[in-house]
């Protein structure tokens, strides 16, 4: 049984369209880098799967993210804040980007729907 920690149902607060996309996300926390796959992405944030129970972040935690999107050669580098955590099998967390993405990164995310 899963339990969501954070403010309300996260699916009800989206400002940006989310696209199902699994990419490798490098998460830098406490001087180490973990690799968590994404489950979806939007111009405002992403949902990440955390397979290692000991790495599940806390709501409000901030860290650096790096990931590659289709259509872009350079990786996206952003800061993110954990907005909610769903502890279960698997553990999922919702990340809100706290640094604005560059225009070409937003463009690449918004083009994901045409690449299906």
Domain CATH number, residue 46? 2.40.10.220
Report if residue 51 sits inside a domain.
yes
In this structure, is residue 13 part of a structural domain? Answer: no
Name the residue range of residue 72's domain.
Answer: 3-8+18-115
Answer whether residue 78 is part of any domain: yes
pLDDT of residue 15: 65
- Cα 35 vs. chain centroid, distance in angstroms? 12
Residue carrying the six token digits 């937003």: 106
Residue 82 lies in a domain: yes
Parallel/antiparallel/unpaired status of strands 45-50 and 62-67:
unpaired
Residue 90 in any domain: the answer is yes
For the stretch 47-81, pLDDT in tens is 999 999 999 999 999 999 999 998 999 999 999 99
- How many domains would you assign to the chain? 1
In a domain, 91, yes or no: yes
pTM score of the predicted model: 0.82
Angle at 34 between CA 111 and CA 22, to 5 degrees: 25
CA distance 98 to 25: 16
């Amino acid at each position: 049984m899963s339990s969501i920690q954070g403010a309300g149902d996260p699916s009800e607060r989206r400002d940006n369209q989310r696209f199902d996309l699994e990419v490798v996300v490098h998460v830098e926390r406490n001087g180490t880098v973990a690799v968590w796959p994404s489950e979806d992405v939007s111009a405002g944030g992403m949902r990440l799967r955390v397979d290692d129970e000991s790495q599940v972040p806390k709501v409000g935690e901030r860290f650096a993210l790096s990931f590659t999107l289709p259509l872009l050669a350079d990786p996206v580098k952003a800061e993110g804040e954990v907005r909610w955590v769903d502890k279960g099998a698997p553990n999922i967390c919702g990340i809100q980007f706290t640094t604005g993405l560059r225009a070409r990164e937003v463009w690449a995310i918004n083009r994901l729907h045409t690449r299906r």
